[in-house]
Amino acid sequence: MNRPVTDVIEQASAIQRRAADAQASVWVDASAGTGKTTVLTNRVLSLLLSGTPPARILCLTFTKAAAAEMANRIATQLQKWAAMPDGALHESLLALTNAPPSEDRRRTARQLFARVLDTPGGMKIQTIHAFCQSLLKRFPLEAGIAPHFDVLDERSAAELLVEAREAVINRARTATTPSLAEALAEVTRQVGEGEFDELMRALTLERARLAQLLARLGDVEALIRAVNARLEVAAGDTPERVRIAGCDDEKLDLLGLRLAVRALSESAAKTDRERGAAIKRWLANAGEIRAAEFEGYCKQYLTQEGMIRQRLITARALAANPGVDEILLAEAMRLVDLRDRCNAAVIATATGALLRLGAEMLQSYDEHKRSRSMLDYEDLVLATRDLLQRSGVAPWVLFKLDGGLDHILIDEAQDTNPEQWEIVAALAHEFFAGEGARAEVRTVFAVGDPKQSIFGFQRADPASFARMREHFKRRVDDARALWNEIPLTISFRSTAAVLDAVNAIFSRPEAQEGLFAAGAWPRHEPSRIGQAGLVELWPPALPLEAADPLPWAPPTERRAGDSPRGRLARLIAERIAAMIRSGERLDSR
């Protein structure tokens, strides 16, 4: 039996009030439509009501639009409080705090709008990049960057990256650096032009990790050696060398294979005779020819997927030649291992080439930026992280910031990447420092939806979200301060039909894997009780199998390409048109 709507709304409000508690550090796990922005806004309002100066609150949002939306919500509410009749103000503050407001609290609420307006620079409601930019502008010499630096927008950064890439490719083409020319040849052998662009962009996004590895290991050659060691590939091993070595007589059970060839050739079964002839032909060749025909030889033992065939010899032939199946199975297992080592060599060679190109391109990209005194968005984050971790400098910077920050709030925390989390952790380092901490209550608040981390935006992942939650929980507990973990599971957006479908899917263990650190799906409930909804399950729109064009056919006719998205869009349009024609209506209540 469904609960009354008022009960559900009151439960949701109580949970949101608990999340807005200005005395506790809070970690909120909130799905879309559960009131994340409302909770974040109420949290700031509660902090202001508790007497926190506006300048000591830092709210890090994900986009400029989110920052503007939150700033507007706060300003609108403070403006209302300033002009509200006493009765309406009493009810508004009671709904926010669940406690009857005192006369002082009401007076404070009326003054907050003016306090925020009088705050130099306004409240710190910023994107992480805007915050990093303001910090670096304040401490440019300590960060080791030009005080007059400008920030590259995404388009300008992409154009500069293309310049850097072209410069590296031109150097590789001239063959003035043989290793660079070989690296370009290897990468272009593995990928096409479009994929090459994607690889370079991916390397740019991961340049923080690449720079860390290069700094730790010394140079790109040491990094390549480390990659080879991890893949268990010896120095100088190429796929061709591994394959040729694996086809040498010394690596083969020649006597056993010749016995197997004779048994297969004398079999009455056609498949046995064909396999025996193929193996005999391959054994008769020299090492390099064997390597060239290696894949054909493997087909006699392995399936197209690389698995050992269930039957390598028929039962009748085996009965006449006991033990041949073991010889063939041993060779099949050796081939599986050899193919794995060949694949490892392919990966090692391609990765080494990509690392050489990537390191050179990133160096060229950095030189282009330095010559123009420019930083891109990733540079802002990395420079700020390094500044806050630099020995001898970070304590001074944190001391200057320490007097101006008491509360840090992180919106869309699931999309915060590891370097950004390091910045937040450094900023909050003194919040829970025990004896050295200030007397004022200082808190960290984060709200996010770990399910959205499946998109991997900015290299975020559910593990980072969970790891930072444990980090701050441990710090707060050590300081004997208040800590709350609050899930928001009551949706104000979807109806029961939609939420029931989602709950049914994610209640299955295989659907939860990798999403939730606790290993349990937080079941969602609707606030719109009694309202109707409909979920239709459609088969996926899969790509169609393309027919092979006729060889040497002249391009005299235009052929439409297959687009699963386009087909799905047409199906949706046709479904809506059919609903309109037939007068079909969806129940709303």
| Of residues 12 and 275, more confidently modeled | 275
- Continuous segment of H or E residues that includes residue 60: strand 57-61
- Continuous segment of H or E residues that includes residue 39: helix 36-49
Angle, helix 270-283 to helix 254-265, in steps of 10 degrees: 150
Q: Return d(Cα 403, Cα 388) in angstroms, integer.
A: 15
Q: Return d(Cα 76, Cα 61) in angstroms, integer.
A: 19
Q: What is the mean pLDDT of residues 466-490?
A: 88
Phi-psi region of 19 (alpha: psi -120 to 50; beta: other; left: phi over 0): alpha
**Do 360 and 180 touch, CB atoms closer than 8 A?**
yes
Average predicted confidence (pLDDT) for the chain: 84
CB burial of residue 322 (10 Å; 0-12, 13-18, 19+): exposed
**Do 488 and 29 touch, CB atoms closer than 8 A?**
yes
pLDDT(236) > 80: no
Token duo for residue 300: 């006699």
pLDDT(404) > 80: no
Q: Return d(Cα 315, Cα 310) in angstroms, integer.
A: 12
Token duo for residue 127: 């994107």
Angle, helix 324-372 to helix 239-246, in steps of 10 degrees: 170
Give the three-state DSSP class for 61. Answer: strand
Of 19-33, 52-66, 104-118, 449-463, least confident by mean pLDDT is: 449-463
**Which residues are registered as beta bridge partners of 29?**
448, 487
pLDDT tier, 75 (very low <50, low <70, confident <90, very high otherwise) = very high
Output the pLDDT for position 547. 67
Q: Return d(Cα 76, Cα 143) in angstroms, integer.
A: 38
- Continuous segment of H or E residues that includes residue 487: strand 482-488
Output the pLDDT for position 458. 63
Output the pLDDT for position 559. 63
pLDDT(410) > 50: yes
Q: What is the mean pLDDT of residues 44-73?
A: 90
**Do 267 and 311 touch, CB atoms closer than 8 A?**
no
Nearest to 390 by CA among 136, 118, 60: 136
Token duo for residue 567: 């087909």
pTM (two decimals):
0.74
- HEC sequence for 110-158: HHHHHHHHHCCCCCEEEEHHHHHHHHHHHCHHHHCCCCCCEECCHHHHH
Q: Return d(Cα 520, Cα 507) in angstroms, integer.
A: 8
Token duo for residue 237: 């091993």
How far from chain centre, in Å, is Cα 161?
22
Token duo for residue 374: 């420019």
Nearest to 203 by CA among 181, 186, 145, 195: 195
Tens of pLDDT along 118-166?
888 788 899 999 999 999 999 999 988 989 999 988 888 888 888 888 8
Phi and psi at residue 200, to the nearest 5°: -65, -40
Q: What is the mean pLDDT of residues 448-474?
A: 76
pLDDT tier, 520 (very low <50, low <70, confident <90, very high otherwise) = low
**Do 61 and 73 touch, CB atoms closer than 8 A?**
no
Give the three-state DSSP class for 375. Answer: strand
Q: Return d(Cα 181, Cα 228) in angstroms, integer.
A: 20
DSSP class of residue 414? G
**Do 116 and 123 touch, CB atoms closer than 8 A?**
yes
Q: What angle do CA 176, 177, 179 make, to 5 degrees?
A: 150
DSSP class of residue 483? E
Q: What is the mean pLDDT of residues 204-219?
A: 78
Q: Return d(Cα 381, Cα 208) in angstroms, integer.
A: 10
**Do 484 and 24 touch, CB atoms closer than 8 A?**
yes
Tens of pLDDT along 170-210?
888 776 778 888 888 888 888 877 787 788 777 777 777 78
Output the pLDDT for position 436. 47
Nearest to 529 by CA among 495, 555, 498: 495
Q: How far lies 579's CA from each of 532, 538, 583, 588, in Å?
A: 17, 16, 6, 15
**Do 488 and 39 touch, CB atoms closer than 8 A?**
yes
Q: Read out DSSP for 302-338? A: B-TTSPBPS-SS-HHHHHHSTTHHHHHHHHHHHHHHH
Ranges of H-type helices in 284-411: 287-292, 294-298, 315-320, 324-372, 377-389, 394-402
